Amino acid sequence: MEASSRLSPPWGHRLGAGYDRETSGLRHLHPGIFATWFAEAGRWFLVGNDDGVERSSGHGLDFGSRFFPACPRMKYLEMRIQGNTAVELASGLHWYLKYWCGVHISWDKTGGAQLASVPSPGSLPRVKETAVKVERPVPWNYYQNVVTSSYSFVWWDWRRWEKEIDWMALQGINLPLAFTGQEAVWQKVFKSFNVTDRDLDDFFGGPAFLAWARMGNLHAWGGPLSQNWLDQQLALQKKILSRMIELGMVPVLPSFSGNVPVACKKLFPSASITRLGEWNTVDGNPRWCCTYILDPSDALFIDVGQAFIKQQMKVKVISFSDTFNENTPPTNEPAYISSLGSAIYQAMSRGNKDAVWLMQGWLFYSDAAFWKESQMKALLHSVPIGKMMVLDLFADVKPIWQTSSQFYGVPYIWCMLHNFGGNIEMYGVLDSISSGPIDARRSYNSTMVGVGMCMEGIEHNPVVYELMSEMAFRSQKVEVEDWLKSYSYRRYGQSNVEIQKAWAILYHTIYNCTDGIADHNKDYIVEFPDISPSSFSSQYSKRKIISHVRKHPRFLGEVSASLPQPHLWYSTEEAVKSLELFLKAGNGLSESLTYRAQVKSVVLVKKKYDLVDLTRQSLSKLANKVYLDAMDSYQKRDSSGLNFHTKKFLELIMDIETLLASDDNFLLGPWLETAKSLAMTEDERKQYEWNARTQVTMWYDDTKTEQSKLHDYGNTE
């Protein structure tokens, strides 16, 4: 592929006969994945130019700025991959395994790895060309959202993190967020300012709600945090950072954005501390609501921020700060906003002279009425040029770079958001992610410096994440239909006509959402019962609500709900055709792990992962129609019709229960058990289970009279 940018000079690694200090980054790649690929010493190698001599022939993949052909010291043919860092080497390995060996690797919960297509030792496919050069068109490949740590990572142990970091390396991710364990650092920092543990109990959120406490959206909800938790998470973070750095990644660590415990108002009475507005509460209960922000013009701001940066591990990192994520600033004065940005960066740079500030650009979309050109410029231009990068968080649907003159000259990363609340729903915009980063990079005066995946939750829709990961190494638009044929072969380990036809349909339906709506799974089957339902349709303006199932739209009135209603952007009849093709292909793919789900009982027919997911989606969308029919009967006082449709709706719930029981990855139990497994006391066990249950149900508020505004936001059907 063509290359338009190069990174630092390459360095070499060799795997096989032995390891030296330079190969230590690859030494720890997860044995469950890599043992298969390196089972025989000499089967193939990842090497570099150890002696500085550039050679003239060989076969391999170049993921760096130069290709180093075969080493004459070896007595047999080598398959070699050369790259700048261990991440480049791992992603080069992944590229070869995908496009020469037909391998597919996804999260364990979405089918895991398909390795059956790897040839036996001594029979690996040769690269026909003298060399294949694959380079990043932009230097950075970012991963995570600030809330992924709560929706997906919150209960992980080191073993699970090892797998994830391996997966990151294989995808070429070199700029991962690393937010684990920061509360232990804040504990030390705030104690140095005479804030007590009791004060911090009212400041930190519970384990499943830490992301929003960190952003100043809430405080104390789900808490307090035990010292066991604080110590465990800090120890885990040290392992995470060590492994990321060892692989050549640049971790993104948190920094001070101004949020302080309320106790600081008494401890520092002369400090300028402002109470922020409420965030998604029913009644503004001060027990959880309305956090406090320290004014950037106050000298205390720099002191706290500098202390935090210095307290963190002294590693080469990029610092992250989001001061007003879904919290509107107290004033729209550009001077104030500029002083805030300047103070945040001063706090970073005094603790680390090489600091670079990375921020999410979500506020420019979610609060566009506030963040006009002058306010955006005030914030973006408040730091030295080259010392800030912005994540264009929702670029796959609502790219801000197009409406802000390339973020007014500030470097940005083109990101795919894709998922909200960790919801399980088949959804995607494959055409957008296959062309959007290319268009952005080639645009006039482009300041794009990377691509990224910023989903709120992971472990779903593997096709979307495989394609998006590849865009870090793509200089040309991907022809999605052709790519999907290759994808289906890799995913199932064989070519299947029915499956190819099914994926062609999915591409034009489920994975072709073009309505510009942020996709939350708000299907009625995962919602609280409601006798005034409505179905959100992208085809009607002014937020008119219709039932969009099949070909019979039904107007139901205007909607004032703050969250989206059931979203349907494709023909369910066409999607059912793809399901029929999956079923038809079942016998031929019965041995595919990515197709087959785990069977829990000999009574159950073998279910298949993608088949389970597609069936779940089809039944859930059908349930929307049945529920609306039941509500029609209710409104018409048709008791017979109401009973019929209610019974049918309940039967669909049981059908989905039976279906999902065939695969642990769709069950609630593992989520709860992993939460409880981290507990060291009975009180912690109860607290962690409460956190886990509450996040996927009520989410927020303990009001006895009204539903939480965020109820079911984190549902995982």
Cα separation, 512 vs 526, whole angstroms: 23
SS (H, E, C) 22-85: HHHHHHCCCHHHHHHHCCCCCCCCCCCCCCCCCCCCCCEEEECCCCCCCCCCCCCCCCEEEECC
| pLDDT over 70 at 618, yes or no | yes
pLDDT (tens digit per residue) in 270-284:
999 999 888 888 888
What is the pLDDT, as a whole number, of residue 379?
A: 95
Cα separation, 322 vs 362, whole angstroms: 9
| pLDDT over 70 at 457, yes or no | yes
- Top pLDDT among 29 and 214 is at 214
What is the pLDDT, as a whole number, of residue 333?
A: 93
pLDDT-wise least confident of 59-68, 173-182, 445-454: 59-68
Distances from the Cα of 440 to the Cα of 141, 397, 706, angstroms: 15, 13, 45
Q: Domains in the chain, please, with CATH?
A: 21-133 (no CATH), 140-474 (3.20.20.80), 515-591+599-662 (no CATH)
Cα separation, 397 vs 442, whole angstroms: 18
Q: How confident is the model at residue 709 (pLDDT cuts 50, 70, 90)?
A: confident
Q: How many of the other CB atoms lie within 10 Å of CB of 577?
A: 16
What is the pLDDT, as a whole number, of residue 411?
A: 97
Q: For residue 557, which phi and psi values (nearest 5 degrees)?
A: 115, 180
Beta bridge partners of 176: 143
What is the pLDDT, as a whole number, of residue 107?
A: 95
| pLDDT over 60 at 55, yes or no | no
Mean pLDDT of all residues in 522-549: 53
- Top pLDDT among 674 and 37 is at 674
Q: How confident is the model at residue 74 (pLDDT cuts 50, 70, 90)?
A: very low
Cα separation, 37 vs 535, whole angstroms: 49
What is the pLDDT, as a whole number, of residue 633?
A: 93
Beta bridge partners of 546: 555
- Three-class secondary structure of residue 370 per DSSP: coil
pLDDT (tens digit per residue) in 412-438:
999 999 999 999 999 999 999 999 999
Q: How confident is the model at residue 27 (pLDDT cuts 50, 70, 90)?
A: very low
Strands 544-547 and 554-558 come out as antiparallel
Q: How confident is the model at residue 531 (pLDDT cuts 50, 70, 90)?
A: low
Contact (CB, 8 A) for 124 and 79: yes
Q: Residue 687 is inside which H or E element, if any? A: helix 682-695
What is the pLDDT, as a whole number, of residue 24?
A: 38
pLDDT-wise least confident of 31-35, 406-410, 649-653: 31-35
What is the pLDDT, as a whole number, of residue 315?
A: 56
pLDDT (tens digit per residue) in 152-180:
999 999 999 999 999 999 999 999 999 99
What is the pLDDT, as a whole number, of residue 42?
A: 27
What is the pLDDT, as a whole number, of residue 12?
A: 27
Angle between helices 639-660 and 609-635 (to 10 degrees): 160
Contact (CB, 8 A) for 619 and 572: no
| pLDDT over 70 at 45, yes or no | no
Locate 510 and state its tokens.
Answer: 């489920």
Locate 182 and state its tokens.
Answer: 């920061």
Q: Residue 410 is inside which H or E element, if any? A: none
- % the chain with pLDDT above 70: 80
Locate 89 and state its tokens.
Answer: 């080497």
pLDDT (tens digit per residue) in 288-317:
999 999 988 899 999 999 999 888 866 556
Highest-confidence segment of 126-130, 460-464, 630-634: 460-464
Q: For residue 357, which phi and psi values (nearest 5 degrees)?
A: -95, 125
Q: How confident is the model at residue 46 (pLDDT cuts 50, 70, 90)?
A: very low
What is the pLDDT, as a whole number, of residue 307?
A: 92
pLDDT (tens digit per residue) in 363-393:
999 899 999 999 999 999 999 989 999 999 9
What is the pLDDT, as a whole number, of residue 47?
A: 37
What is the pLDDT, as a whole number, of residue 594?
A: 58
What is the pLDDT, as a whole number, of residue 78?
A: 65
Amino acid identity for residue 110 in this structure = T
| pTM: predicted TM-score of the whole model, two decimal places | 0.87
Mean pLDDT of all residues in 181-186: 96
| pLDDT over 70 at 10, yes or no | no
User: In whole angstroms, what separates CA 594 from the centre of its chain?
Assistant: 21
Sign of the CA dihedral running 42, 43, 47, 51: positive
Highest-confidence segment of 5-14, 70-79, 497-506: 497-506
Q: For residue 512, which phi and psi values (nearest 5 degrees)?
A: -135, 50
What is the pLDDT, as a whole number, of residue 442?
A: 97
pLDDT-wise least confident of 234-243, 354-363, 460-469, 597-606: 597-606
When the pLDDT of each residue in the chain is averaged and rounded to a whole number, the result is: 83
